[in-house]
Amino acid sequence: MLKVRFLAFSLLITGIALGYFAYPFGGILKFLDVQYRLGLDLAGGAHLVYKLEESDALSQNRIEALEGLRDVIERRVNLFGVSEPVVQIAGSRGNERLIVELAGVFNISEAIRIIGDTPYLEFQQEREGIEQSTATSEALAAAEISFEPTELTGQFLKRSELQFDQFGSPVVALVFDDKGSELFAELTEKNIGKSIAIYLDGTPISIPVVREKITGGRAQITGDFTPQEARTLVRRLNSGALPVPITLITQQSVEASLGAEALRRTFSAAIVGTIAVVVFMVLWYRLPGILAVIALSIYIFIMLALFKLIPVTLSAAAITGFILSVGMAVDANILIFERMKEELKEGKSIRGSVEDGFMRAWTSIRDSNVSSLMTAFILWWFGTSLVKGFALTLGLGVAISMFSAIVVTRTFLKALGVKETSAMRSLMLSGLHR
């Protein structure tokens, strides 16, 4: 019993700590000052939709070209300070749309200008007269003035590919056209032992060192790449060499005042809904209901902490999914309490009723939650950005609610340790004898 009560106390303290972290206090403890990320509909901002035009890039390697385009757009919109912009490709093959959502960005004309520029890939060499051949790649990247443009640009790069050497290590292969082969051979011949910086949109994405003159129009970039890092570099190289033309077809601005009003209404709905659930559980189930409310509070604090830590972009749809998951978390407790009531009516002890009630309710909770998780996954996989937000918070909520009901509520009930002969037995558990 002492062990169970210690576990219950630990869960309670953990819940309080998570609640403190989840509260948007804004700076009491700097290392805990993590703000919630609000979506476009709550924070206001810009919503842009582009049409993708057919090009050689799309016809040759459609998936790689689209991934490269999205990677470039994400890096560009980060110039606005948007840490997690929504950039996604939607629509059927041949009719794709690029959707860009920038929460907190209200200068739409500037956003359109930066996003609409064609990705520009160029190869730069070390400036003459500067002793830097022994510098590290990191140092060279920090000192952009140490490089100067050359004639070799992305228009001469036919493609980039991910390959693996004889030891199984990933390498990035470059294939140039005839003119690019000549320029690359000249560039490598006069820069042996020096670095060549590859720039995309003015930012260095790779700074390999030239070991020898390279002819034939084929080269490899080697290094301590992980497969994912090499794949990302390939996408960036191809996006500069094979840009996908895009045309703006829709633009929309959500004012900050409208977002603040939507946030206020959404928050009010969440508070009212939670209070209603708390009142019902306490009035109907009495002490078990109070324990369920404590477990529900811990559940809410865990979810809010996850929203900060993952982080989750909170739109109105995402908060709706969270509120729905609160109701589902309560539903699991109701199933458990009703099973416990049936066990008590059969004359079983309190401890036996608690154990058997949880065991009998588990299959129903498991089946309903698994089906909800499957639905959330399908919505997330096939849905748009708003649907994805709803599906993500709903799926997280369902998963955490199982922990809340099966572990937290159960631990609190077992920690009560009510004696069968106690006069308080009927009073404390009166909510289960209806």
- pLDDT tens, N- to C-terminus, the chain (434 residues): 788 888 888 888 988 888 888 876 544 454 466 778 887 777 778 888 888 877 665 676 677 777 777 877 777 777 666 556 778 888 777 788 888 888 877 788 877 877 776 667 889 998 876 554 444 444 444 445 588 888 888 878 888 888 888 888 899 999 998 988 999 999 999 999 888 998 877 788 888 889 899 999 898 888 777 888 888 888 777 766 555 778 889 888 877 666 677 778 878 888 888 888 888 888 888 888 888 889 889 999 999 889 888 888 888 888 888 888 888 888 888 888 888 888 877 877 777 888 888 888 888 888 888 999 999 999 888 877 678 888 999 999 999 988 888 888 888 888 876 565 555 556 555 556 55
- Amino acid identity at 186: E
Please identify which residue in the block is written with the tokens 């929460």.
103
- Amino acid identity at 396: L
* 187, 196 contact by CB (below 8 A): yes
Q: Which fold has domain 43-118+246-253?
A: Alpha-Beta Plaits (3.30.70)
* pLDDT of res. 187: 92
Those residues whose C-beta lies under 8 Å from the C-beta of residue 274, and which sit 6 or more positions away, are 300, 323, 326
- Rounded to 10°, the helix 316-345/350-382 angle is 150
- Rounded to 10°, the helix 350-382/385-403 angle is 160
Distance CA(285)–CA(432), nearest Å, equals 6
- Domain ranges in the chain are 2-38+255-432, 43-118+246-253, 121-241
pLDDT tens string 207-241 = 888 989 999 989 888 877 788 888 888 877 776 65
Please identify which residue in the block is written with the tokens 């042996």.
192
Which residues on neighbouring strands pair with residue 125, listed in sequence order? 148, 196
Q: Is the dihedral of CA 286, 10, 399, 342 positive or negative?
A: negative
- Structure tokens given for 245: 């033309």
- Closest C-alpha to 96, from 76, 66, 56, 55: 66
Residue 205's H or E segment, with its range, is strand 203-206
Distance CA(80)–CA(106), nearest Å, equals 10
**Cα distance between the two ends of the chain:** 28
Cis before 204 (ω within 30): no
Q: Which fold has domain 121-241?
A: Gyrase A; domain 2 (3.30.1360)
pLDDT tens string 122-159 = 899 988 765 544 444 444 444 455 888 888 888 788 88
Domain 2-38+255-432: give its CATH architecture. Answer: Up-down Bundle (1.20)
pLDDT tens string 287-326 = 888 888 898 899 999 998 898 888 888 888 888 888 888 8
